[in-house]
């Protein structure tokens, strides 16, 4: 862990890259950064269709599975947030596969991001994983364990690999593990977070997760830790 980075906040002149920015949590993180006055780059295959360029926001169309795309996007940033996943219906994905996203998008995409960060000397990395993976694997209830095993088994397996890659990366990393993600029309608030797997509820709004991802990227509070994020 880099001691200098651990004790330094990303100041407002810093630039943040959000990878997987068109997903719910990623988009919420982008919006929160902009509201705070930070310069943010929103990276996804369809970023320019979802975000309007401004003096604080730069959409970047690229494929996280393409090392060149990732390398070019990472350069010049001070911190990176990764919110990769498969947004399609999990039942259809489980039995018929994804239409356009690789099964290992989380692990391979994150590996590409970390390699680019090493090349460009960037240390601060925040990765959205899932509650019930890694350190919280044994804390799931029976229903959630069944849901993971029947519908999400390949995706959870890839998320496990993703976490292993992050932990071995020598980055100043933070792993965010949100519980079940929901959309909410209510104003996003700070979620309940813990480093021991404790949760307050088993649902959390994507907007609240986005707020935490932004906080984790800007401050050194949780470097080197896995953080449960709940409503």
Quick one: tokens of 207? 């907007």
How many structural domains compose the chain?
Answer: 1
Question: What per-residue confidence (pLDDT) applies to 134?
Answer: 94
- pLDDT tens-digit readout, 153-172: 999 999 999 999 999 999 99
- pLDDT tens-digit readout, 77-133: 999 999 999 987 777 778 777 888 989 999 999 999 999 999 999 999 999 999 999
Instruction: Give the mean pLDDT of the chain.
Output: 92
Whether residue 225 is predicted with pLDDT greater than 80 in this model: the reply is yes
Short-list 164, 165, 75, CA closest to 121: 75
Whether residue 40 is predicted with pLDDT greater than 50 in this model: the reply is yes
Region 49-71 average pLDDT: 97
Quick one: tokens of 153? 């088994």
pLDDT band at 1 (very low <50, low <70, confident <90, very high): very low
Region 20-48 average pLDDT: 96
Whether residue 24 is predicted with pLDDT greater than 50 in this model: the reply is yes
Question: What per-residue confidence (pLDDT) applies to 27?
Answer: 97
pLDDT band at 5 (very low <50, low <70, confident <90, very high): very low
Question: What per-residue confidence (pLDDT) applies to 107?
Answer: 98
Residue % of the chain over a pLDDT of 70: 97
| Other beta carbons within 10 Å of 53 | 11
What is the phi-psi region of residue 106: left when phi exceeds 0, alpha when psi lies from -120 to 50, beta otherwise?
alpha
- Domain of 115, CATH number, reads 3.40.50.720
Task: Supply the DSSP symbol for 187.
Answer: P
Bridge partners, 227 (sequence order): 176
Domain span including residue 183: 3-230
pLDDT band at 8 (very low <50, low <70, confident <90, very high): low
Higher pLDDT, 38 or 92: 38
Region 168-178 average pLDDT: 97
**From CA 157, how far away is CA 60, in angstroms rounded?**
29
Whether residue 3 is predicted with pLDDT greater than 50 in this model: the reply is no
Residue % of the chain over a pLDDT of 90: 80
- pLDDT tens-digit readout, 187-203: 889 999 999 999 999 99
């Amino acid at each position: 862990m880099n001691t200098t980075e651990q004790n330094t906040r990303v100041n407002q002149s810093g630039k943040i890259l959000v990878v997987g920015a068109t997903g719910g949590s990623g988009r919420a993180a982008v919006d929160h950064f902009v509201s705070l006055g930070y310069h943010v780059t929103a990276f996804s295959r369809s970023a320019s269709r979802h975000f309007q360029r401004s003096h604080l926001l730069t959409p970047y169309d690229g494929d996280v599975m393409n090392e060149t795309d990732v390398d070019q996007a990472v350069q010049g940033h001070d911190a990176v947030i990764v919110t990769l996943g498969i947004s399609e219906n999990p039942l259809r994905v489980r039995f018929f596969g994804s239409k356009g996203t690789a099964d290992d998008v989380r692990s391979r995409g994150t590996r590409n991001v970390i390699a680019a960060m090493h090349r460009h000397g960037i240390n601060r990395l925040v990765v959205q994983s899932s509650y019930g993976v890694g350190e919280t694997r044994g804390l799931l209830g029976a229903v959630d364990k069944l849901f993971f095993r029947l519908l999400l088994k390949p995706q959870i397996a890839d998320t496990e690999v993703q976490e292993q890659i992050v932990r071995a990366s020598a980055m100043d990393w933070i792993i965010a593990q949100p519980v079940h993600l929901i959309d909410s029309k209510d104003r996003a608030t700070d979620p309940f977070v813990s480093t021991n797997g404790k949760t307050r509820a088993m649902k959390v709004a994507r907007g609240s997760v986005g707020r935490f991802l932004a906080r984790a990227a800007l401050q050194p509070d949780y470097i080197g830790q896995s953080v449960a994020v709940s409503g």
